[in-house]
Amino acid sequence: MALQLEEEFKEYAKKAKSLPPRTTDADKLILYGLYKQATVRSVNTKEDPKIITTISQLILIAANNLALHTTMALQLEEEFKEYAKKAKSLPPRTTDADKLILYGLYKQATVRSVNTNRPGFFSPTERAKWDAWKAVDGKSKEEAMTEYIVKVKQLQQQEVAST
């Protein structure tokens, strides 16, 4: 059991060296701390096999959770791309207000926070788009993607209900 766990630990330690770019610093710190505890051990920790086994299991759990989170994020991105394509064929009666909501959420999901100055008074369309983007500033990429998908679904359902 211990040898199998040690081999699995080494395998996940290698995988941890190539974490996806969206891995949070908190997750990296947890993995780092657990790795160090399992390999170097604390000054106060004796060579207790139970502690080493527990730490190794915690690393495996953290790595599996990270892999699950990464998989879910990739699935969300794929669904977001699918609904971005669907949004291009929304019915003509879709209101400008709804289009602006979608625009703001799309920009927040793809570009992130507003990174330009507000357009001037003589550019009302660009100014409205900027305002829609600014209205969702601060949302995480995942929140913006999820809300975008929900909004497109809502607009599609409204179209079906009206026919």
Low-confidence ranges of the chain (pLDDT < 70): 1-6, 16-22, 37-38, 41-57, 64, 68, 163
Place of tokens 């992130």: 112
Q: What is the pLDDT of residue 36?
A: 72
Question: Looking at the domain that runs over 90-162, which CATH code has it been given?
Answer: 1.20.80.10
Q: Which pLDDT value is given to residue 123?
A: 93
Domain 2-74 sits in CATH 3.90.79.10: no
Q: What is the pLDDT of residue 95?
A: 94
Between CA 71 and CA 59 the distance in angstroms is: 18
Q: Cα–Cα distance between 137 and 114 in angstroms, integer?
A: 7
- pLDDT of 20 reads 67
pLDDT at 101: 96
Residues 6+ apart with CB under 8 A from 19: 27, 28, 31, 66
* Helices and strands in the chain, H and E counts: 6, 0
What pLDDT is stored for residue 32 in this prediction? 72
What pLDDT shows up at residue 104? 96
Tell me the residue ranges of DSSP E strands in 24-89: none
Closest CA to 74 of 142, 4, 1: 142
What is this structure's pTM?
0.62
> What stretch(es) of the chain map to CATH 1.20.80.10?
2-74, 90-162
| CB-neighbour burial class of residue 75 (10 A; exposed 0-12, middle 13-18, buried 19+) | exposed
Q: Which pLDDT does position 48 carry in this prediction?
A: 60
pLDDT for res 10: 74
User: Residue 72's pLDDT is what?
Assistant: 78
pLDDT of residue 49: 64
